[in-house]
Structure 1
Amino acid sequence: MTDADWQARLDALWARLDAMGREEFVAAMKELAAERGPDDPVALFEIGGAHDSTGFTEQAVGYYERAIAAGLDGVRRRRVVIQMASSLRETGHPERALAMLGVERANGSDAYDDALAMCEALTLAKLGREREGLSVALVALAPHLPRYQRSTVNYARGLIGREPL
């Protein structure tokens, strides 16, 4: 089995998520992940994601923590932070989620910046800091607008009492 073969089967399993029952999907993911071994960070991440995507959010956090501890890297490392922060937010730990997101944001920029901002905005809202959350969301949206980028960022900054650019 090559990594590419395993990834293709993983992709095929994720494509069937909506056609499968919750427990059936998690069981299938555990079976596929077992091929990589019990401490494989990618396998742990994918099992966590399977739990998360099927409503077993609290169980997902443990798998995500284990994946990080096992050395998950690359794009999945960024994704695990976003997914775990989302899970923490929804299971009553938004402060921990916000702290994780702040650390991750300081790690640099990549294609997941907007997803990170989305998670941060929702977490701020969960904490009752809706204006800050809206500001984060608007700043993330601004580069995607055909015009009004600077205005959008300035309005977003104004929401939280910052001076315009």
Structure 2
Amino acid sequence: MQALVAERAEDDPDALYEWASVHDYLGKEQEAVPLYRAALDRGLSEPRGAQGMVQLANSLRNAGAPKAVVDLLRNQPSYETTGDAVQTFLALALRDAGRPDETLRVALTALAQTLPLYSRVIANSPQIGRSY
């Protein structure tokens, strides 16, 4: 992979993303984080942009930075490519940050969208209405 990445321009967002993914796969999250950030900053296009955001969040969480994940994902939309992965990793980071009520709120909000009969009941629950 390193040889393939070396064939691309140094600031190529796709190459940076792939190189970050390799580091992630090898359990080198600390090294993957700046590579994901660089890929996203340089305009990583979809569908890799959505995947890069989620993978950056997961690397940050695995590196012990749940607050950084919450800050990163707090206002991120869901993407067709990744579905509710943004909300899933946000909930995990909130849990890691010791914020169980917010964890439940995020998780139930994402889940409510999939419930054919009870989505409105869950979405209108007083526990869901509070912001994080």
TM-score scaled by length of structure 1: 0.68
Give unmatched runs, 5+ long, in structure 1.
1-28
Q: How many residues align?
A: 129
- Computed over aligned residues only, the root mean square deviation of the Cα atoms, in angstroms, reads 2.0
Contact 2:105 2:127 in 1 (8 A): yes
Residue range with higher mean Cα deviation, 121-130 or 140-149: 140-149
Structure possessing the higher radius of gyration over alpha carbons:
1
Q: What is the distance in 2 between the residues matched to 1:161 and 1:153?
A: 8
| CA shift digits 1:53-102 (9 cap, x unpaired) | 23111111021122123222323222222211221122122212111112
Is contact 2:12–2:42 with CA below 8 Å preserved after alignment? yes
Check 1:124–1:143 CA distance in 2 against 1; reply closer, same or farther (3 A cut).
same
Query: Tell me, which stretches of 5 or more residues in structure 2 are unaligned?
Result: none
Q: Give the match for residue 94 of structure 1.
A: 66
2:118 aligned with 1:148: yes
Q: Which has the higher helix share?
A: 1
2:106 counterpart SS class: helix
Q: What letter is aligned with 2:122?
A: T
Match of 2:52 in 1: 80
Contact 2:108 2:128 in 1 (8 A): no
Cα distance in 1, alignment partners of residues 40 and 128 from structure 2: 33
Q: Compute the displacement of 1:160 (Å).
A: 5.4
Whole-angstrom distance in 2 between the partners of 1:74 and 1:161: 31
Displacement after TM superposition at 1:123 (Å): 0.7
Instruction: Quickly say closer, same or farther: Cα 1:61–1:46, change in 2 above 3 A.
Output: same
Give the structure 1 partner of residue 10 of structure 2: 38
Using CA pairs under 8 Å that are at least 6 residues apart, name the structure with larger relative contact order, 1 or 2: 2
Letter in 1 for 2:116: P
When residues 42 and 114 of structure 1 are mapped into structure 2, their CA distance, relative to the original with a 3 A threshold, is: same
Question: Does the C-alpha gap of structure 1 residues 161 and 78 become closer, same or farther in structure 2, counting only changes over 3 Å?
Answer: closer
Is contact 1:132–1:159 with CA below 8 Å preserved after alignment?
Answer: no
